[in-house]
């Protein structure tokens, strides 16, 4: 018995060692499989997240591009709106648009009644030019209105601009090369009180009134002044170097 015990113990130890090694190897294999499975799951998750991230980034890029396009469009619209506003302002200032606003109407007419009496009393010395409205009367009144702050002026529906001509041809008055006939209605948009004061403090209106010409000033809340329909002379204008002319 004493000799068999070490042998038995040895066999038991060997078998136990083999079993222990088997268990360890089995556990390691299981752990390895679990780790591999876990790593595979993680890799799959990471790959999926990366794909989703790329898709989101592409979507974000598309949205940013769209935002940039909209911003550029808005900038262009804003620029066009600014240019359009400036153009409308220039059109108003140059008389190329019909305008309305408060102002006054100065009415002038030839002194026919006094002319008839003068002709009857002294036919040999009668001078008809002393009893009619002249181009200078209209011109001086236009200047008075401008001094009074008139923003737009017309004479018998002829818009007055900086280059408008007011002149006589014989006994006929031409404005913008259009023949006018009395009575003459000079309309001006602006502060009615200031315009009236300037006309009354000028020389032309009081002079005509003192000589019994039928003249009057009418203050109005709303006056319409038409568009300038004449041409613009540019015979001597030249484009400065570095500037470009717009295409027609």
CATH number of 116's domain: 3.30.70.1880
Strand 184-189 relative to strand 178-180, pairing: unpaired
Q: Which domain holds residue 182?
A: 100-225
Residue 133 located in a structural domain: yes
Please indicate, yes or no, if residue 204 is contained in any of the structural domains: yes
DSSP result, 111-180 = -HHHHHHHHHH-TTT--GGGGS--HHHHHHHHHHHHHTT-SEEEETTEEE-TT--EEEETTEEEETTEEE
User: Cα separation of 217 and 211, whole Å?
Assistant: 16
Q: What is the mean pLDDT of residues 7-14?
A: 52
Same domain, 124 and 219: yes
In degrees rounded to 5, what are phi and psi of residue 158? Answer: -100, 115
Q: Do 118 and 218 belong to one domain?
A: yes
Domain boundary among 73, 92, 115: 73
Structural domain total, the chain: 2
Span 218-247, pLDDT tens digits = 999 999 999 888 776 666 777 676 655 555
> Both 65 and 146 in a single domain?
no
Overall pTM > 0.75: no
Classify residue 61: in a domain, yes or no. yes
Question: CA–CA separation, 83 vs 93, rounded Å?
Answer: 15
Are residues 212 and 153 part of one domain? Answer: yes
Shared domain check, 110 and 161 = yes
Write down the pLDDT at residue 33.
Answer: 59
35 and 142 fall within a common domain: no
CA dihedral 102, 161, 199, 178 (to 10 degrees): -100
Q: Is residue 202 part of a domain?
A: yes
Q: Return mean pLDDT, the chain.
A: 79
| 230 inside domain | no
| Same domain? 4 vs 105 | no
Residue 242 CA, chain-centre distance (Å), reads: 25
Asked if residue 62 and residue 24 are part of one domain, the reply reads yes
106 in the same domain as 68: no
* pLDDT tens digits along 101-159: 999 999 999 999 988 988 888 888 888 888 999 999 999 999 999 999 999 999 999 99
Task: Tell whether 137 is covered by a domain.
Answer: yes
Looking at the structure, do residues 116 and 68 belong to the same domain, yes or no?
Answer: no
Asked if residue 203 has pLDDT above 70, the reply is: yes
The per-type count for the chain, helices as H runs and strands as E runs, is 5, 8
* Residue where one domain finishes, among candidates 56, 73, 90: 73
Residue 42 in any domain: the answer is yes
Shared domain check, 16 and 113: no
Q: How many CB atoms lie within 10 A of CB 17?
A: 10
**Average pLDDT in the 9-24 region?**
55
Same domain, 54 and 147: no
Any domain includes 94: no
Q: Where would I find the beta strands (DSSP E) of the chain? A: 99-108, 152-155, 158-160, 166-169, 172-175, 178-180, 184-189, 216-225
């Amino acid at each position: 018995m004493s000799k068999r015990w070490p042998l038995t113990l040895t066999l038991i130890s060997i078998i136990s060692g083999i079993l222990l090694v088997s268990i360890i190897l089995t556990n390691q294999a299981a752990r390895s499989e679990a780790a591999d499975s876990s790593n595979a799951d993680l890799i799959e998750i990471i790959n999926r997240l990366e794909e989703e991230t790329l898709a989101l980034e592409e979507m974000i890029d598309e949205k940013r591009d769209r935002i940039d396009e909209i911003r550029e469009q808005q900038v262009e619209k804003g620029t066009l709106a600014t240019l359009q506003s400036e153009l409308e302002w220039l059109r108003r200032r140059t008389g190329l648009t019909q305008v309305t606003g408060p102002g006054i109407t100065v009415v002038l007419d030839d002194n026919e009644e006094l002319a008839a009496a003068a002709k009857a009393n002294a036919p040999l010395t009668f001078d008809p030019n002393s009893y009619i409205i002249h181009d200078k009367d209209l011109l001086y009144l236009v200047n008075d209105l401008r001094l009074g702050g008139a923003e737009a002026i017309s004479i018998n529906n002829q818009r007055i601009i900086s280059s408008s001509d007011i002149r006589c041809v014989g006994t006929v008055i031409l404005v913008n090369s259009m023949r006018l006939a009395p009575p003459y209605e000079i309309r001006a948009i602006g502060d009615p009180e200031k315009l009236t004061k300037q006309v009354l403090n000028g020389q032309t209106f009081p002079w005509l009134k003192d000589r019994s010409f039928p003249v009057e000033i009418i203050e109005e809340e709303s006056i319409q002044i038409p568009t300038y329909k004449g041409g613009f002379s540019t015979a001597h204008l030249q484009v400065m170097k570095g500037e470009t002319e717009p295409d027609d």
